[in-house]
Amino acid sequence: MNIPCPLDNIRIVLSHTSHPGNIGAVARAMKTMGLQALYLINPKSFPDPEAEARAANASDILLQAKVRSELSEVLADTVLTAAITARPRDLSHTSFDARQGAMELVQLAQQQPVALLFGPENSGLTTAEVNKCQIIIHIPANPYYSSLNLASAVQIMTYELRMALTANTPLPPAKEELANLSELELLYAHLEQLMIASDFLDPKKPKLLMQRIRRLFARTRLEKEEIQILRGVLSALGKRW
Amino acid sequence: MNIPCPLDNIRIVLSHTSHPGNIGAVARAMKTMGLQALYLINPKSFPDPEAEARAANASDILLQAKVRSELSEVLADTVLTAAITARPRDLSHTSFDARQGAMELVQLAQQQPVALLFGPENSGLTTAEVNKCQIIIHIPANPYYSSLNLASAVQIMTYELRMALTANTPLPPAKEELANLSELELLYAHLEQLMIASDFLDPKKPKLLMQRIRRLFARTRLEKEEIQILRGVLSALGKRW
């Protein structure tokens, strides 16, 4: 029986990558650190000979890469997704540096799938994408020039994941029974529907209300049972709407 | 008055780089982490438009890069040089992983120049080059595929240098008055000359004798005064040869 390695539970997700060469370089970076699961959300061009060329001997990662059109599909069964971003966001998710964030991810990956989400080369992640993540990871860099190449950002993160795996300090036991993203989304949808029904939320002027709620729950890492309880409450309250 | 930053005392030295694009990618990696001093030993092609292209907005690093034909010239005034290598060596230098090695380098760079030496893309550093270094730094990687791209290796090392700089744990004060490479080389030359003169070393069959001696001293980080003492002893003993 093989002992499953936490790195096998960690997905690298690239959103809307422009240059196929970068996808190849990311595959190589992943393989050097022992990661395998690459997901591509609407890449501009893939498969592509330039990706093959830059992957060097990591073309097996490209062959197994999964191309998807919807981010939600990729994250549905994950218990934690980190948005890798250099830009500060107006509403703050819990934010970690690369080292701390890698430890968080590896800890949960001992039992369940987690993901790291990287945006397009030039524009970065959209607010909607960041909202699907529970934490933000920030790679420390030169404040006057923090423009890391996509593959370089993946290289640093996968290196820190590998280091977290072999860290001398034993990791605390993984929390069990965390809710996955599908369950969270069902909670948000349930809540939003009731907020609208009850005229608390005007869908024509939603402001940042749902965003604030998402981030509130994202910080808590909800357990499955807690979701059941919350939805039980909503169902009960919703009978009148 | 500007407070000097240890990162300004850290040189990235690339030996015999084949692909100019990699030199550009290295410049970008350096700048993202706040390093500036790039040295190129006999690059295959430099300057080169491909280097410019891959450097993105780090072309200032390329403009200031120093091209040299002799490694010794670049290292003459350094107090510590690390060979960055994936391959194990038969005779062991003191070896650090990337994180520990970065701390060693940053500590000394608070006062004096240090260097990191990276070999050509395919063949790696020669034994002669590694012998000019005092320590080896090994980047932890997948044992089944440790083939890091040159710029990726530089990215991880410069990231760890930046992290070492901002580490919460205060660094111990830098040792002063360490011997630089010129002084060490004079010692080795002095010693070798006497070993040959005394028939201890047959220059036609040198075996690994000088290598063992170099590594022995490399581990100790000789101080200037210690070198003076050793050379005093050699001078004294050498009067009879």
CA distance linking residue B102 with residue A93, whole number of Å: 31
Q: Residue A132: give the domain boundaries.
A: 6-165
Using a 10 angstrom Cβ sphere, with 0-12 exposed, 13-18 middle and 19 or more buried, the burial of residue B189 is: exposed
CA distance linking residue A135 with residue A150, whole number of Å: 19
Q: What is the pLDDT of residues A171-222, one digit of tens each?
A: 444 555 788 888 889 999 998 998 898 888 888 988 788 887 887 777 677 8
Domain termination site, one of B107, B138, B165: B165
Q: Please say if the pLDDT value at position B173 is more than 60.
A: no
Judge if B116 and B204 occupy the same domain. Answer: no
- Mean pLDDT, residues B88-111: 84
Judge if A188 and A153 occupy the same domain. Answer: no
- Residue A105's nearest CA partner among A118, A115, A97, A90 is A115
Domain termination site, one of A165, A190, A219: A165
Judge if B144 and B192 occupy the same domain. Answer: no
pLDDT band at B90 (very low <50, low <70, confident <90, very high): low
Provide the b/e sequence for B113-141 (b: ≥16 CB within 10 Å).
bbbbbbbbbeebbeeebbbbbbbbbbbbb
A33 and B155 within 8 Å at the Cβ level: the answer is: no
- Minimum distance, in Å, between the CA of residue A133 and any CA atom of chain B: 25
Specify the pLDDT at position A91: 58
Identify whether A175 is part of a domain: no
Judge if B156 and B185 occupy the same domain. Answer: no
Specify the pLDDT at position A210: 85
Judge if A159 and A187 occupy the same domain. Answer: no
pLDDT band at B211 (very low <50, low <70, confident <90, very high): confident
Q: Please say if the pLDDT value at position B20 is more than 50.
A: yes
Following CA atoms B143, B145, B147, B149 in sequence, which dihedral angle do they give, to the nearest 10 degrees?
Answer: -120
Specify the pLDDT at position A169: 46
* Nearest residue in chain A measured CA to CA from B54: A149
Specify the pLDDT at position A25: 97
Judge if B136 and B185 occupy the same domain. Answer: no
Say how far residue B176 (Cα) sits from the centre of its chain: 19
B25 and A142 within 8 Å at the Cβ level: the answer is: no
Residues of A in contact with B147 (CB under 8 A): 28, 32, 56-57
Q: Please say if the pLDDT value at position B228 is more than 70.
A: yes
Identify whether B176 is part of a domain: no
Collect all residues from B whose CB is shorter than 8 A from any CB in A: 25, 28-29, 31-34, 56-58, 98-99, 139-142, 145-149, 151-152, 155-156, 159, 162-163, 166
Specify the pLDDT at position A224: 85
Number of independent structural domains in chain A: 2
- Residue A26's nearest CA partner among A49, A58, A70 is A58
Identify whether B1 is part of a domain: no
Identify whether A176 is part of a domain: no
Q: Please say if the pLDDT value at position B92 is more than 80.
A: no
Note the pTM of the prediction, 2 decimals: 0.82
Among B57, B151, B162, select the one facing A140 at the smallest CB separation.
B162
Residues of A in contact with B29 (CB under 8 A): 149, 152
A159 and B139 within 8 Å at the Cβ level: the answer is: yes
Coil, helix or strand at residue B114: strand
Residue A171 to residues A3, A10, A114, A126, B33, Cα–Cα distance (Å): 17, 16, 16, 32, 29
Specify the pLDDT at position A89: 58
ipTM over 0.85: no
Judge if A31 and A83 occupy the same domain. Answer: yes
Structure-model confidence comparison of residues B127 and A4, the more confident one? B127
- Minimum distance, in Å, between the CA of residue A35 and any CA atom of chain B: 9
Q: Which of A30, A84, A148, A155 to mutate to test the interface with B (most CBs of B within 10 A)?
A: A155
Specify the pLDDT at position A222: 81
Collect all residues from A whose CB is shorter than 8 A from any CB in B: 25, 28-29, 31-34, 56-58, 98-99, 139-142, 145-149, 151-152, 155-156, 159, 162-163, 166
* Nearest residue in chain A measured CA to CA from B99: A163
Q: What is the pLDDT of residues B37-85, one digit of tens each?
A: 999 999 999 999 999 999 999 999 999 999 999 999 999 999 999 999 8
Backbone angles phi, psi at A168, to 5 degrees: -65, -40
- Residue A127's nearest CA partner among A63, A224, A210 is A210
CA distance linking residue A205 with residue A208, whole number of Å: 9
Domain termination site, one of A135, A165, A195: A165
* Nearest residue in chain A measured CA to CA from B152: A152
Specify the pLDDT at position B14: 98
CATH number of the CATH domain containing B198: 1.10.8.590
Judge if A20 and A134 occupy the same domain. Answer: yes
CA distance linking residue A55 with residue A26, whole number of Å: 7
Identify whether B72 is part of a domain: yes
Judge if B213 and B157 occupy the same domain. Answer: no
> Which amino acid does the sequence have at A121?
E
Among B31, B98, B142, select the one facing A145 at the smallest CB separation.
B31
Specify the pLDDT at position B179: 85
- Residue B43's nearest CA partner among B106, B108, B120, B100 is B120
Identify whether B174 is part of a domain: no
CA distance linking residue B3 with residue A143, whole number of Å: 17
Q: Please say if the pLDDT value at position B3 is more than 60.
A: no
Judge if B193 and B80 occupy the same domain. Answer: no
Specify the pLDDT at position A207: 75
Give me the long-range contacts of A225-228 (CB less than 8 A, separation at least 24): A225/A177, A226/A179, A227/A179, A227/A183, A227/A184, A227/A186, A227/A187
- Mean pLDDT, residues A67-79: 94
Judge if A111 and A203 occupy the same domain. Answer: no
Identify whether B170 is part of a domain: no
Q: What is the pLDDT of residues A82-141, one digit of tens each?
A: 999 876 655 567 889 999 999 999 999 988 999 999 999 988 899 899 988 989 999 999
* Nearest residue in chain A measured CA to CA from B7: A142
A32 and B159 within 8 Å at the Cβ level: the answer is: no
Specify the pLDDT at position A171: 47
Judge if B147 and B195 occupy the same domain. Answer: no
CATH number of the CATH domain containing A39: 3.40.1280.10
A159 and B156 within 8 Å at the Cβ level: the answer is: yes
Identify whether A188 is part of a domain: yes
